[in-house]
Amino acid sequence: MALPALHALAELGPLTIHAPRWGPELYAEVDATVVARGRIRADLAVLFAPSLRAAIEARSCRRIVGTPTDHRRWLLTDIVPPATHQAGTYRALALAAGATPLGPPVYGIRGTAAVVEAEHIGLNPLSVGGRTREWWGYRALAERLDRPVVFYAGPGEGERLEPIAEGFTQVVGTSLPDFAATLQSTAVFVSNDSGAAHFARACGVPTVVVHGSTTASRTGPDAAHPIENPVHCHPCYRPTCAHDLACLDITVDRVLAEVQACCRS
């Protein structure tokens, strides 16, 4: 979601992006230097992260642009109200810094060999956000699909994926360039509301997102196909649930119908 804003900020002058370990792969096409998170030394800091930690790391900057979240208002020089959708917040942050983001997120495919070359349906059943984002029906969905199925998971998630995906092709912990190349063989990508879903859309892949504790209007990928069960406590964005995961009471038939519609379109 941040890619359009980062490209726009790079046009203002030399840009340094403080990012997690996957930053160099994700931001390779941004005209910027990507470094590990830590103390920020710059004239202007634009805080995409909403945490107090990020504001403290930027405290020596002359201008600090950010949202007044996590009790950090007193550290900011330019306060930006959060938008309804996270992508809108990133756009507003860039605008406050003098940049104008254009278009949806796009991740360029850089010619890396695909891990899986045959056309398939991609399924991403796990989430670092907790059980409230993990729909229960991926295995049943895979068994009902009439196309080849590939299960995807992130680094270190192979052990959790195996009981769900046993007997199906599994891709675990691949690099982002390899993932992007493989997605070009994916007819439809089915996922929870996660980074993988946003990445698939940035690569131009039709994406069905099964929302649990989250909602498309706040964090869903651009132009995806959301499926939600808006119960009384939805959305909560919590990693645990006190209501028997009612938000994930979504039938396999409903998800299957959406996947089939995407395949026909």
At residue 110, the pLDDT reads 66
CA–CA separation, 122 vs 120, rounded Å? 6
Q: What percent of the chain has pLDDT over 90?
A: 94
At residue 229, the pLDDT reads 96
For 110-153, what is each residue's pLDDT tens digit? Answer: 656 778 888 999 999 999 999 999 999 999 999 999 999 999 99
Work out the widest C-alpha separation in the chain, in whole angstroms: 58
Is the pLDDT assigned to residue 109 strictly greater than 80? Answer: no
Q: Tell me the average pLDDT of the chain.
A: 95
All residues at 6 or more sequence positions from 143 whose CB lies less than 8 Å from its CB, including other chains: none
Q: What is the pTM of this model?
A: 0.93
Is the pLDDT assigned to residue 188 strictly greater than 80? Answer: yes
Is the pLDDT assigned to residue 264 strictly greater than 80? Answer: no
Which numeric CATH code is attached to 120-264? 3.40.50.2000
Q: What percent of the chain has pLDDT over 70?
A: 99
CA–CA separation, 102 vs 202, rounded Å? 14
CA–CA separation, 259 vs 222, rounded Å? 17
Cis ω on the peptide bond leading into residue 235 (within 30° of 0)? yes
Residue spans of the domains in the chain: they are: 3-96, 120-264
For 21-76, what is each residue's pLDDT tens digit? Answer: 999 999 999 999 999 999 999 999 999 999 999 999 999 999 999 999 999 999 99
For 77-108, what is each residue's pLDDT tens digit? Answer: 999 999 999 999 999 999 999 999 999 999 98
State the amino acid at position 229 in one-letter form.
N
